[in-house]
Chain A
Amino acid sequence: MKEKLHQIKLKYQGKKMAPAFNALHTFLYTPNETTHSGGHIRGADDLKRTMNTVILALVPCLLFGMFNAGYQHYSAINGFPESFSLFDHFLTWDNFWVGVTTVLPLVVVSYGIGLGIEFLFAVIKGHEVEEGYLVTGMLVPLIVPVDTPLWMLAIAVAFGVVIGKEVFGGTGMNILNPALTIRAFLFFAYPTWMSGDKVWVHEAVERAGTADAISGETVLGSLAAGSDYSYSLADMFYGFIPGSVGETSTLLILLGGLFLIFSKIASWRIMVSAVVGALAMGLIFNGIVDAGWLPEYSKFYTLMSFPYWQHLLVGGLAFGIVFMATDPVTGSQTNKGKWYYGFFIGFLSVMIRVFNPGYPEGVFLAILLMNVFAPTIDHYVVRGNIKKRLKRFKTATIYPKSSDEVDSLKTETA
């Protein structure tokens, strides 16, 4: 198989379709052209390895999402089980099968369309196919509602990859996170499929208006409507709640996040500062409620009085912080900048959550906004550093060396 691919590759070398075959070969095997002996040390952590590590961290979320799709579906029909047991009610074949029929097509469409466009652009522009879409393609199905029509997803993916990434020059050049661009496009283009209490549970849309109508409102949705939610804290933490496919389980996201931190793929600075930012905004809102500045009939009352730390358990905040905010291309590059960048993502997410009249979720908007500001933050961090050094240089006393070498000066900070 490997030899065959290599032969095909050689045959098409220099032809128009060459990048497509090269990509297929590199994706499946190590290319024959790499050096096998001699004084070369090759780092193993190339782009492919990086992307695969992130995908590995996402797999638990995907599997959980597949089971949860079934669990929410059957629970909405039959009622939630009274005494919940993980193996009897959650990890069942019935649940998994619902996941296979609803979530897997999303994954297939996302990868099919996205990689197809990447191949197309590589062939037209004559460069190699980059691995950038591998992670995006996995993120996309995890951040959309389970019943998103496939053609909508296909259009959104095409839009996100072309307008969000390829027009800027492909992987590594994009300003905005492509997965979130796709999410934002879906949200603004087809809002009825992206919000409300009908889209989070499989088949809820088709059943609407009939005798066996079902619904499942997200925790944030209930809060925004001013009503209470019926999920316990443990449900929220483990993820047995309605929501986008892969973002419900805070536990698995936490594990994935730790995995990314220890494999040094994602920046812990961004994650920590984003959590701090979210908590800070949550505390401010709680403080406003506690101080009695907000009348109880205000439409923001329920969301603002939501305990500050629970914001991390519901909605896409945890998922966004771990897998989206840490995107190395669109985030801040400087270490100091990462603190500001992360902090504002958390801070703005919770703020948008509370004040957004149309939709009680703001993580994707907050991250996209900070994506835009990331270069500015970096610019000022670098400028600040230059200024600091210039100041140090000005106050420094420079002693000429006692030797004859005039140009070797010794600098000491005063």
Chain B
Amino acid sequence: MALLSKKDANLIKDPLADNNPITIQVLGICSALAITAELKASVVMAVSVLFVLGVGNVVISLIRNIIPAKIRIIVQLVVVASLVIIVDQVLKAFAYELSKTLSVFVGLIITNCIIMGRFEAFALGNGPWKSFLDGIGNALGYGVILVIVGFFRELLGSGTLFGMKVLGDPVTKTGLYSIGYENNGFMIIPPAALIVVGIIIWVQRSRNRELIEEA
């Protein structure tokens, strides 16, 4: 007996691969560009979105039958905003340095298109359990891309991972730096994230040609 039925499992699996919110639906790009210079920030952002989207989808799904259609966007905004404030306060209390790095982008989770998109497209029409799985799936799909981009940008741009100097010390010239290697400053600036995301899209679409859109 599987934990999830096949249909339910697909709710989580699809956004991770062939229906990824960033690489296929091209949503939530702004935050993917802004905060992926460090792996740590990417992970925290991914977890924050996971919380907001998972809980938010359930809440919206529970009250979906009593929301008047005319003001549903405002109701959705109120739900996201409350959840984001919780995330923001938790970060400020327990990871102050990190919350400073993420600065406004935690607040801007409210405007992350993925969240409103899932509320509108899924939670308003499905039950809480399915909505929960859908939210988790999409947040994971978003998070996976964020972590991949963050990994390459931090490794190539600063030579570190989670702040640890994995390639050696650029000042005292140890490790790779002793043979003349240097950090790639281009990877630190946001345009590099666009290119890394572009390469991920390229790789994904050449592995699965059905994903290529008609020109």
Q: Flag if A167 contacts B186 (CB, 8 Å).
A: no
Q: Flag if A188 contacts B185 (CB, 8 Å).
A: yes
- Which residues of chain A are within 8 angstroms of B195 by Cβ–Cβ distance? 163
Query: Which chain B residues in 187-204 approach chain A with CB under 8 Å?
Result: 187, 189, 195, 198, 202
- Which residues of chain A are within 8 angstroms of B198 by Cβ–Cβ distance? 163, 167
Nearest-neighbor residue (CB-CB) of A124 within chain B: B206
Binary CB contact string for chain A from 185 to 214 against chain B (1 if under 8 A, 0 otherwise):
100111111000000000000000000000
Query: Which chain B residues in 157-213 approach chain A with CB under 8 Å?
Result: 180-182, 184-187, 189, 195, 198, 202
- Which residues of chain B are within 8 angstroms of A188 by Cβ–Cβ distance? 185-186, 189
> How long is the Cα–Cα vector from A163 to B192 in the complex, in angstroms?
11
Nearest-neighbor residue (CB-CB) of A162 within chain B: B199
- Which residues of chain A are within 8 angstroms of B186 by Cβ–Cβ distance? 185, 188-189
Q: Flag if B202 contacts A167 (CB, 8 Å).
A: yes
Cβ of A151 under 8 Å from chain B? yes
A-B contact count (CB 8 A): 23
- Which residues of chain B are within 8 angstroms of A191 by Cβ–Cβ distance? 185
- Which residues of chain B are within 8 angstroms of A189 by Cβ–Cβ distance? 184-187
Which one of B180, B182, B202 has the greatest number of beta carbons of chain A within 10 Å? B182
Cβ of A149 under 8 Å from chain B? yes
CB distance from A317 to the nearest CB of B (A): 24
CB distance from A168 to the nearest CB of B (A): 12
> How long is the Cα–Cα vector from A60 to B186 in the complex, in angstroms?
33
CB distance from B135 to the nearest CB of A (A): 33
CB distance from A121 to the nearest CB of B (A): 12
- Which residues of chain B are within 8 angstroms of A77 by Cβ–Cβ distance? none
Q: Flag if A149 contacts B185 (CB, 8 Å).
A: no
Residue of B184, B189, B202 near A190 (CB, 8 A) is B184
CB distance from B209 to the nearest CB of A (A): 13
CB distance from B184 to the nearest CB of A (A): 4
Binary CB contact string for chain A from 153 to 174 against chain B (1 if under 8 A, 0 otherwise):
0010000000100010000000
- Which residues of chain B are within 8 angstroms of A190 by Cβ–Cβ distance? 182, 184-185
Residue of B180, B185, B187, B189 near A151 (CB, 8 A) is B180
Cβ of A152 under 8 Å from chain B? yes
> How long is the Cα–Cα vector from A185 to B181 in the complex, in angstroms?
16
Which one of A152, A163, A185, A189 has the greatest number of beta carbons of chain B within 10 Å? A189
Nearest-neighbor residue (CB-CB) of A191 within chain B: B185
Nearest-neighbor residue (CB-CB) of A155 within chain B: B184
- Which residues of chain A are within 8 angstroms of B185 by Cβ–Cβ distance? 188-191
Nearest-neighbor residue (CB-CB) of B189 within chain A: A188
> How long is the Cα–Cα vector from A150 to B202 in the complex, in angstroms?
28
**Can you identify 23 A-B contacts, CB atoms within 8 angstroms?**
A149-B180, A151-B180, A151-B181, A152-B182, A155-B184, A163-B195, A163-B198, A167-B198, A167-B202, A185-B186, A188-B185, A188-B186, A188-B189, A189-B184, A189-B185, A189-B186, A189-B187, A190-B182, A190-B184, A190-B185, A191-B185, A192-B182, A193-B182
- 11 additional A-B pairs beyond A152-B182, A189-B185, beta carbons within 8 Å, are A149-B180, A151-B180, A151-B181, A155-B184, A163-B195, A163-B198, A167-B198, A188-B185, A189-B187, A190-B182, A190-B185
**Which 10 pairs show the lowest CB-CB distances between chains A and B?**
A189-B186, A188-B186, A189-B184, A189-B185, A191-B185, A190-B182, A188-B185, A163-B195, A149-B180, A185-B186
